[in-house]
């Protein structure tokens, strides 16, 4: 098995923007200009619209206004289906909470309730999560609800540990079926030197770990992270 590494380097915004740079390293290594780690596409398991989508084993609170008997907490099964009194079994996987509320209301309307007002709230998610590892106080898996950034993901893990290297944090992501990694300076983000990058479901965040930085060890001296992140596209193929 061979591993091809295409490195994307974003320089500081100087004289009108990012400039492409070529580094040595063989025919499988090239550097091009880019300003951010791209978001995953729908094929990578999350909608580009950033609206929360119900997934397997998510726990939901469903409430029909004015009908106490129809205030229930339900859990989606492995296929993303939920069961609700009078509405039956619904394929909720991939729906937003609003779409599920509309589906339940349509099933209750007329035969059971004249004009049902249904709300669906997420209580616990098992499908839309980010993994935070490395030099943080509480490594683990944390839910992604709405817009989440690198700094917020670290905060969810109770912040960095006392021995953390704030110069380095890596986000690993799959985009278009391809693995990518981006190296950031937490200190530079906190100082406002560049934007706090968005974190998506299924990302892996590693803080202050030497193993996570191995993809970038030859470039850190060439491109200081205080001005811009380093972004790599990792493509593995077989002969």
pLDDT of 21 over the 50 cut: no
132 lies in the same domain as 120: no
- Give me the percent of the chain exceeding a pLDDT of 90: 29
**If you write DSSP's letter for every residue of 158-178 in order, what string do you get?**
TSB-TT--TT-EEEEEEETTE
Calculate mean pLDDT across residues 47-55. Answer: 65
Domain ranges, residue 84: 59-124
174 lies in the same domain as 74: no
Q: What's the predicted TM-score (pTM) here? A: 0.57
Stronger pLDDT, 238 or 171, i.e. the higher one = 171
Q: What average pLDDT does the chain have?
A: 74
Are β-strands 140-143 and 59-64 bridged in parallel, bridged antiparallel, or unpaired?
unpaired
Calculate mean pLDDT across residues 49-61. Answer: 80
pLDDT of 70 over the 90 cut: yes
152 lies in the same domain as 202: yes
The lowest-confidence range among 51-65, 75-89, 166-180 is 166-180
Query: The domain spanning residue 211 has which CATH number?
Result: 3.10.560.10
Domain boundary among 73, 103, 124: 124
Stronger pLDDT, 173 or 118, i.e. the higher one = 118
118 lies in the same domain as 166: no
- And the tokens for 156? 């969810």
Domain boundary among 124, 147, 170: 124
So what's the pLDDT on residue 175?
A: 82
119 lies in the same domain as 231: no
Q: Where are the beta strands (DSSP E) in 100-195?
A: 118-124, 129-134, 140-143, 148-149, 169-175, 178-184
Calculate mean pLDDT across residues 71-79. Answer: 91
pLDDT band at 57 (very low <50, low <70, confident <90, very high): confident
Judge contact between 4 and 222, C-beta under 8 A.
no
Stronger pLDDT, 205 or 228, i.e. the higher one = 205
């Amino acid at each position: 098995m061979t591993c091809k590494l295409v490195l994307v380097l974003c320089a500081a915004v100087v004289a009108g923007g990012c400039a492409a740079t070529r580094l040595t390293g063989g025919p499988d290594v090239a550097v091009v200009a880019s300003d951010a780690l791209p978001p995953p596409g729908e094929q990578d398991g999350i909608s580009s619209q950033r609206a929360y989508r119900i997934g397997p084993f998510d726990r939901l609170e469903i409430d029909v206004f004015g009908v106490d008997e129809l205030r229930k907490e339900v859990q989606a099964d492995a296929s993303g289906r939920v069961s609700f009194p009078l509405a039956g079994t619904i394929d909720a996987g991939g729906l937003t909470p609003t779409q599920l509320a509309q589906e339940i209301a349509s099933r209750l309307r007329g035969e059971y309730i004249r004009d049902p007002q249904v709300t669906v709230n997420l209580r616990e998610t098992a499908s839309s999560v980010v993994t935070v590892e490395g030099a943080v106080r509480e490594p683990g898996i944390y839910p992604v609800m709405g817009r989440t950034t690198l700094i917020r993901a670290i905060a969810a893990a109770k912040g960095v540990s006392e021995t953390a290297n704030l110069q380095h944090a890596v986000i690993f992501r799959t985009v278009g079926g391809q693995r990518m990694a981006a190296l950031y300076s937490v200190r530079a983000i906190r100082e406002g030197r560049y934007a706090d990058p968005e974190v998506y479901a299924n990302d892996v965040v590693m803080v202050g770990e030497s193993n996570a930085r191995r993809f970038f060890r030859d470039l850190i001296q060439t491109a200081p992270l205080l001005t811009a992140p380093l972004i790599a596209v990792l493509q593995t193929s077989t002969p």
